[in-house]
Chain A
Amino acid sequence: MPEPDGGELGPLSSSPTPPPSYPLRHSLRSPLSPRVSLCWCRGNSLRVSLFSQPASEVEFGGEVVELKLNDGGDGEISNAQWRRIAYGSVSPFAMLQSRRNSFSSLSKINSSPYHLEWWEYVMEYSKDINSLLGNPKSSKNSLIEDPKTFVQKSEEPTCLKAAWELMEMFYADKLSQPWLPERLVDWLADYDSLFARAYGTVYSKLLNFQNELINLQVIEDDPRYWEVIASALAVGWLEIVVKLLRLHGSYQLDQLSNREAWEKWRGQINKLDCSAFWIQCHHVQTREGLRNLLQIMLGNMSSLSAATSHWLELYISHFLYVRPFTAGLESMYSLAQRCIQLKPMSNSHKLMGVMIGILGENTEVVLAESSKEFGPWMAAHAIELLTAGSDEAEALLREERYSLGEISLEELHRLVYAQVLSSHALSWQIAPVYLSSCLKQGMGLLEILLYRQPVPHKELLLKNLEICRLYELDDISSNIMKMAGVHHWKHGRKGSGVYWLQQAQDEFRLNKIAQLLFGSVGKSISDESFKQWEGLIELLHSESKAAGGLEFLLKYRDFKRLLQQIGDGKNDVAAQQAVESLMLLMKNPSTPQRFWLPLLNDSLKLLNWQDRPLLNVSQTNLLLNKLQELSIARLRPHFVKPDFPMEALNSVRLSLATNLGRAILEE
């Protein structure tokens, strides 16, 4: 039983030897300063800043290089394909999780006739995922059969698909359990081509022979012909065997026309072996070839071994001829070990680790190998198959481990996969689906992921907030809106800034903004700025709770508008309205004292009205009293000098006095 290497498994496995060294390629020609700077950006991307030596004569002072970790793979699956698989996996995964949540509550209540077994849901999930993993094996039967084509060179399957189907077969498909050896025979028929490069295969032998056919006059004279028939027979590819036999020179059209005839022939094997046919057959190759085929069917070990190329093929042939289809999992494993001994693996292959782990019923090894050979996607998604396999497997994968920070292996692999998804601008949005299924650390990682999305970009911001809403992350949402608000405010888009700060309910900053607006009181501002200032007050007032101060600002705004309407001093009506407004403001106890002088200063135009005095005696007296209050206040020790020129005091006093005189004369 293969043992895990000192407990170091999975994506975080390491070796006790020094870590592997890789080149970090850059394009700087000058010698580098050893001082290297780095920053993690987006998931598993590491940006490294390299600097040239200070003294060197260079075009560039340095370069920033981005390393995408965990992104390698052996190129079996292209990036575009991986993205398709990633996007396509989201729905099945999410569906399964929601089914799991409802399943556990339902199963306690009742078992209705419409209620599927859990493994059936897992199978549905598995089929959905499987359909994403490369093209389905094209049918071997074409309409017009070319007798010289016994092996179809169809689209190359992937190891990923092969591994997935293997796990589905052994863990999820409960209906398959009694038929595992048969299923394995079919599996090898589909995927034998994958082993061609590492070991020889029956598949490649067949393909090579097929290519040679044109050069052969008498097929049955060539020893390879009998070899390939023997090999195809050994692994149970009977259709191919039949096709090959039909190529024999002696074949008559009506012989071996269907499977039944073949079965009958098989049933008479022993009789054949002793029959007189052998003496009558003069063609040596045919005689020897056919005898060998019989030996294969009788389960002769050396014949089987000669006909097969690697241990898996030998293994399959065992199920067909030595111990036909009667093997439990334990004996399957010991048989596998024997086959490996008989045909040791000269090279390693991606699928072998997984296969041996599965046969050895070692869940941890299966998970570790899947992760190592096929990456984080596989680990995260195949765990669903593994947990359906057995209660022990489920317990192992769901056990919370202190060493991992009190999360399970299941959660760990989902987190790792989510981080891989976060590494790409096009796939980060699907990470939340996986993170929400991680009960302990999922939300923490999601929070960090969301905070690292750029705020100025509108679509991303909205997407980000949408995710917050979906997962009820109000605090994060509010912080992100705060960031947006500050960004827009500082970059000149004050309206947007206020809008986002209001959405974030950031009273602190909104109050500061209101205070800024107060700063405009009494100052002359351009029409353009006034519009903006007006707009901001309107925006702020619509939602802000700082009612008192804003009430004043609103009235002041109205007052300013009236002043504008007066224009060049002719509009009597507007002027009178402005005066009313001024009086209201000055009488209002909530108007801060520091604004009295600015208000009066603004109103100089009104006070110096040409045609007639706009203020009557009592109004003027009120204002003079206010001015007096202000003068006394200046003498008090704690008086804070307002940000306003005090010479204005004199001009206001003068205007008021003049106005008083004129008003008295009027009355």
Chain B
Amino acid sequence: MEKSVLKLDKGTTCTAWNYCGQRLAAGSVDGTLSVFDSPDPASSSFSRSSSVKVREVGISKVVWVPPEYGDAVACIFEDGNFSIWEEVAEDSLSVQWKLCEFFKSSSSKVLDIQFGVSPTSLKMVAGYSDGSLKVFELTNPLELKNWQLQAEFQNVIDSVSTFGKASCLSASISWNPVRGEGQESSFVMGFNSDTPQLNSSKVWEFDEAHQRWLPVAELALTEDRGDRVYSVAWAPNIGRPWELIAVATEKGITIWHLNLSPDADGRLPVERVALHSGQEGEVWQMEWDMSGMTLATTGSDGAVKLWQSNLNGVWQGQATFLPTC
């Protein structure tokens, strides 16, 4: 059932596959970015095509930029800064990985970055350790330098209340994977912090008229609003009447239905359709398959779990995979 695809170099800390699964970017503890390629799509053998020392600081996460903007990755470093590197061929020189932009964050550390494609531009959302998030926009679609800070705000519904300096361990962002020609994309974000108001997962939508981001839904029951959120994942919608979003909190894995038509007060109705508690430890990563029918999760117990809904709409664990020699 399983087969080895490639071996990673010593010190590798994180990996990410590109949109078609043909290239793997791997970041290591010594700040090296390695890229593995496969000669053709039908082959399943991969070999390292480049290895670049991007910085003297370890890389903690790698995220691919959407392919409409080139072959590029964002590297988040251990020290909380991040940079964007791109594979380009300049003039008659051969193809190589080059630095596009380095984003220095002085006061707080970047915890997560995700890219969202809208009809007009590329947006990047970054979540910081002080509980804030920044939305950057790319000005020139052909160059991955020159990002403009479009908005900066906190992950709270009620923007009026203030609280002291927040300290966040992790943040998780997931864009709506839709590629529509028309609407702007929205994203969902949750935090794992000591400030309850920041934690719960909120769905953010851009309001064109007022040129600002608004929280249109909160994916938490009233009594769970302060729960720490470990991971969020927005499923691809192939034609369902609702959006499907998975949220992993300290209480367990929850599955939500988000309705696309707003109710009277402009909010989008949400419904929690599943809760699976009893997870041992934290959930680290959640990924939906291409149809949004299966959710794969990993966690601190080191296992890979698969979740599916049965014919009656009840979500349950289908299988657990434990790494074994």
Identify the A interface with B (CB < 8 A). 7-10, 12-14, 18-29, 32, 34-52, 54, 58-69, 71-72, 401-407, 409, 415-416, 419, 422, 425-426, 440-445, 447-449, 451-455, 457, 460, 475, 479, 482-483, 486-487, 489-492, 508-509, 512-513, 516, 528-529
Contacts and interface: CB of A to CB of B under 8 A. Distances in A.
Interface stretch (B19-27, B101-109, B124-132): B19-27
B17 interface: yes
B321 A24 contact: yes
| CB-based closest 10 A-B pairs | A492-B89, A444-B238, A41-B21, A403-B313, A62-B8, A441-B239, A405-B240, A34-B302, A19-B317, A23-B324
12 contacts: A14-B310, A27-B325, A32-B302, A37-B16, A48-B304, A48-B321, A66-B2, A67-B1, A422-B290, A452-B20, A454-B20, A490-B89
Contacts of A23: 321-324
Contacts of A407: 239
Interface stretch (B66-74, B204-212, B214-222): B66-74
A415 B240 CA distance: 13
B325 A29 contact: yes
Given A445-B291, A486-B142, A10 B324 contact: no
B185 interface: no
Interface stretch (B38-46, B49-57, B148-156, B168-176): B38-46
B19 A490 contact: no
Contacts of A51: 8, 12-13
B88 interface: yes
From B2, B28, B300, name the one whose CB has the most chain A CB atoms within 10 angstroms: B2
A444 B237 CA distance: 7
B305 to A, nearest CB: 7
Nearest to A34: B302
Contacts of A26: 2, 4, 323-325
A621 to B, nearest CB: 40
Contacts of A442: 239
A21 B322 contact: yes
B279 interface: no
Given A62-B12, A490-B88, A24 B2 contact: yes
Contacts of A475: 181
A407 B20 CA distance: 28
Interface stretch (B75-83, B158-166, B187-195, B281-289): B281-289
Nearest to B181: A475
A455 B141 CA distance: 18
Interface string B275-318: 00000000011011111011010101111111011111110111
B11 interface: yes
Contacts of B294: 44, 69
Contacts of A48: 304, 321, 323
Q: How large is the interface on B (under 10, 10 to 19, 20 to 34, 35 or more residues)?
A: 35 or more
B91 interface: yes
Nearest to A24: B321
B268 interface: no
Nearest to B313: A403
B312 A440 contact: no
B14 interface: yes
B14 A37 contact: yes
Given A24-B321, A419-B289, 6 more contacts: A14-B317, A36-B302, A36-B304, A445-B238, A452-B290, A492-B92
Contact of B317 (A18, A25, A58, A68): A18
B290 A453 contact: no
B2 A39 contact: no
Given A12-B310, A58-B10, A60-B9, A457 B40 contact: yes
B8 A489 contact: no
B95 interface: yes
A7 B10 contact: no
Given A26-B325, A441-B239, A8 B42 contact: no
Nearest to B12: A61
Nearest to B23: A454
A491 B20 contact: no
A22 B28 contact: no
A405 B4 contact: no
A40 B304 CA distance: 12
Contact of B319 (A19, A65, A440): A19
B6 interface: yes
Given A61-B8, A448-B291, A486-B70, A443 B21 contact: no
A441 to B, nearest CB: 4
Contacts of B120: 508
A48 B17 CA distance: 11
Contacts of B181: 475
A412 B179 CA distance: 23
Interface of B: 1-17, 19-22, 24, 28-29, 40-42, 44, 67-71, 86-92, 95, 120, 140-142, 179, 181, 236-242, 284-285, 287-291, 293-294, 296, 298, 300-306, 308-314, 316-325
From B14, B41, B120, name the one whose CB has the most chain A CB atoms within 10 angstroms: B41
A598 B239 CA distance: 56
A509 B242 CA distance: 34
A475 to B, nearest CB: 6
A30 B303 CA distance: 17
Nearest to A439: B239
Contacts of B308: 12, 14
B306 to A, nearest CB: 7
B192 to A, nearest CB: 15
A14 B316 CA distance: 7
A40 B289 contact: yes
B67 A487 contact: yes
B12 A40 contact: no
B316 to A, nearest CB: 4
B258 to A, nearest CB: 13
Contact of A49 (B8, B140, B238): B8
Contacts of B324: 23-26
Contacts of A40: 287-290, 296
A39 to B, nearest CB: 4
Contact of B70 (A35, A39, A42, A490): A490
Nearest to B140: A512
A22 B303 CA distance: 10
A7 B290 contact: no
A324 B321 CA distance: 53
A254 to B, nearest CB: 62
B314 A8 contact: yes
A39 B24 CA distance: 10
From A21, A36, A54, name the one whose CB has the most chain B CB atoms within 10 angstroms: A36
Contacts of A401: 311
A66 B241 CA distance: 32
B238 A448 contact: yes
Nearest to A54: B29
A330 B80 CA distance: 71
Given A20-B319, A26-B324, A444-B239, A61 B86 contact: no
Contact of B3 (A62, A66, A454): A66
Given A21-B322, A454-B20, A39 B287 contact: yes
B289 A44 contact: yes
Nearest to A31: B325
Given A19-B319, A37-B298, A490-B86, A455 B20 contact: yes
Contacts of B237: 444
A446 B14 CA distance: 30
A491 B41 CA distance: 19
Contacts of B70: 486-487, 490
A407 B92 CA distance: 53
B322 to A, nearest CB: 6
B284 to A, nearest CB: 7
Contacts of A19: 305-306, 316-320
A453 B20 contact: yes
A409 B311 CA distance: 9
Contacts of A448: 236, 238, 290-291
Contacts of B242: 405
Given A8-B310, A444-B238, A452-B19, A72 B8 contact: no
